[in-house]
Structure 1
Amino acid sequence: MHIQKDWLHILINFYDHIIISSSDNEYHIVDINLVALGIKTAARVVYADENDCLQHTELFHPFESIASNLSGFSFKVFNNCKFKPRVEIKFSPSKILQKHNVFGPKSGFHAVCDVLTSLHLLYPELIQYLDISNAEVLAIDYTASARMKSKTELKQVQDFLRNISNKSLRKSNKSASFDSTIYWGSENSRRLNRKCYDKHEELLNEINDLKKKAGKGNLQAIDSLKFLDCESVIEFSKYLLRFEVRLKNQWLYENGVPLNLWQFFAFERDNPTLGIELWQKAFSPLFEGFENMSMKIYNDDEILNKISIVHDKITRTGRLSKVKSINLFNFYLSIRTLGYDKVKEITSNSKFYENVKYILDCDFCSKFELQNLKSIDEKNVVPFLKLIEIDFSNQLPVDYVEPTSSHAHIYKHLIPNFSKAS
């Protein structure tokens, strides 16, 4: 049984002894020079003084992208703020450990070890001011996939899902803007976000973007392509409809999940199906709505392809003509919709039988099947939950071995009863 942890957002507070608070306790800053530590800061206010020299105030640290062993992570120092000064870090455990997230580990522990080590190497003085033992979880992504039989089936299921809502769970308006991704609920929810998308399409888009960057000499893109533009990874992603949930700290707390990062890893270790249970609970309002739903499944792309193989023509000028194939495909669709006898009634005899012969020449159905296509189509109804069945025992390639961090020994003691930790 497996579920992938696809994203982690954690915070690490500065130690109390270096925090200075305002008299009304409204604002807090750290008593260290971030610039001297090498932190790349920016200024909210820039002005010219009486000597026309540029001055600045209100330094801040934008989210910064940091290269790790195989991938990168982003981090930000929060200082001069209304909450306790801290560092926040965002990353994909799968990408940190193996460069891609088509499939990946269910625990984020080893990725955290790599991220903290990279941060330590880049900003060695910063780390000594951070209370790592009390790091907290801000958000976690869990992802699981249903494998469709074909690209056509996947698209049909997506089209069906675009109009689904249930109880308090509503379809997001954001869905209209992203062809391969469907969102439910508010994008700004403080508790959780849900979405589903075509993993293969997302992967191909990522590969295309990396190829453009690699063509301009981007070394990180060139390196990433070695892991992503890989036949086994691309093949595994085909027909995967991925359901992903982002669980935020408020929702995790409400559901009894420890927010201390190291206690969370211990809780996860002692409850091996934790990720699956949290994912199921988060998606239950949606999947409960599917219980009495069904939908028709068509293999139209396959049908058109078989017709095209036989009836596409090369013109005298050397161009490919699909006119005949498209006309025959539309004839086939009209029989499926209206019925054999009705189409025969509204079509001239010679044209009707000519088209029937051309379709039978393609050898994907018999005359009997064509004559009964409408009734066969009406029976081609599948319970929706059967279509999007999530098999948690089949989320990984059979030969997959979870990657580990060579730095795990540095942080393992932070996990309660760490001798049990993997």
Structure 2
Amino acid sequence: MFPRQRRSRRFSVAVAAPLALCAAAAAATAVAAAPTAVADEKTPPELYGKADPKFDGVWRQSVALLALDAAGAKPSPKAVSWLSTQQCEDGSFPAYRADPKAKCDAKKTPADVNATAVAVQALSASIGGPNAGTDKALDWLKSVQNKDGGWGYNPGSPSDANSASVVVGALVSAGVNPTEWKKEGKTAFDALLSLQIDKDTKGAKKDAYGAFAYQPGKGDELDPNDDATAAAVLAGMRQDLKLTGDKEGHGASPKKQADKGAEYLAATLKKNGGYLKAATPGAKGKGKPDYANTADAVIALSAAGHKDEAKTSLDWLGDNLGKWDKAEDDPAALGILILANRATTDGDPAQLGGTDLLKRLAATGPKPAAMPSHEKDADKGEEKKDDDGGSSLPTWSFIVVGVAVGAGIGILLSGRRKKQSL
């Protein structure tokens, strides 16, 4: 895996050289992409989902692109290009900026660690590997690493389990060894392990052993947080959301501690009947099923090798899909379901509980340039064409579009973004 770390810079140089010649072709390719779903006046037509993107535009676009790729579809170049244009000059991504042509304003559109890290994962998958844009984003992430080795939601804010974990996912998706990123001798794993509850944790109950806290409390106490635990388990197994990380176990990582976190998740899911409960302070429906966090847990359990427990909760999600309104047309919700399905089963990741998740996701934004092979036209035996008659675009077009834009230019406290997915 780690030879890719050296390859990432070479990849950027290789594609940057012909960039001037390709820019015009990239622009033309984006314009020729498939028609987009109708969006409201606040939502760009290249963006998946119709809700106000102020707090989650980059996040939901990234999850949607990851899910499309995981399901075997090729996203529209328009969708990839839109995500790339959200990047600021310093390499960071905000949660969303309405005018990509304007310079980033730290007051109006502050840099978002989570958005930047998940965008790296999405662009690495959609463009075919590390590129100039993702390299620049990684450079920015490294520049804002905290002294404890972790990251907070915004640069300079205290480290939290979710932010540190999504950055680890960005690193492994780009072929970078997370243990090589150190601040004052500490890595992201050091920051994560400082948030794990064990027998030595003051005031901890035995049934919380293995869980991770989002952040320390006022008295440095650690309270178990299911969402933070799922994120930390995934990071501890050196994985990204698509589970394309280190499968060979190279390099040091807290896999034993991550497995303890997985055991905590499995026990919690079993106690609840297959799902995690909503626990965001003040959230509507507190204590009721949290579908998004349950899907996160399914991915984490699969990454840790707890496939049976993951399958049980995935089946619960499939059986209760009709009760989750976000599963109708929310791209982040549909995306995380596809990713959970892909992580756990060997079948079609788009099919869950009799529902075609990919079809629903595709309907929320720009029509994919190509659908999976099983979606090919039965009569002609060729890829379905866009409504304007244009045929599917080759893989290289995504590289051109993404790099051309990228070279040119979180989970809001875990809860705020989650509220949009509950």
Give the TM-score band, short-chain normalised: under 0.3
Larger Rg over CA atoms: 1
Q: Which has the larger share of strand? A: 1
TM-score, length-scaled by structure 1: 0.23
Pick 1 or 2: higher relative contact order, CA cutoff 8 A, min separation 6: 2
TM-score, length-scaled by structure 2: 0.23
Q: Which has the larger share of helix? A: 2
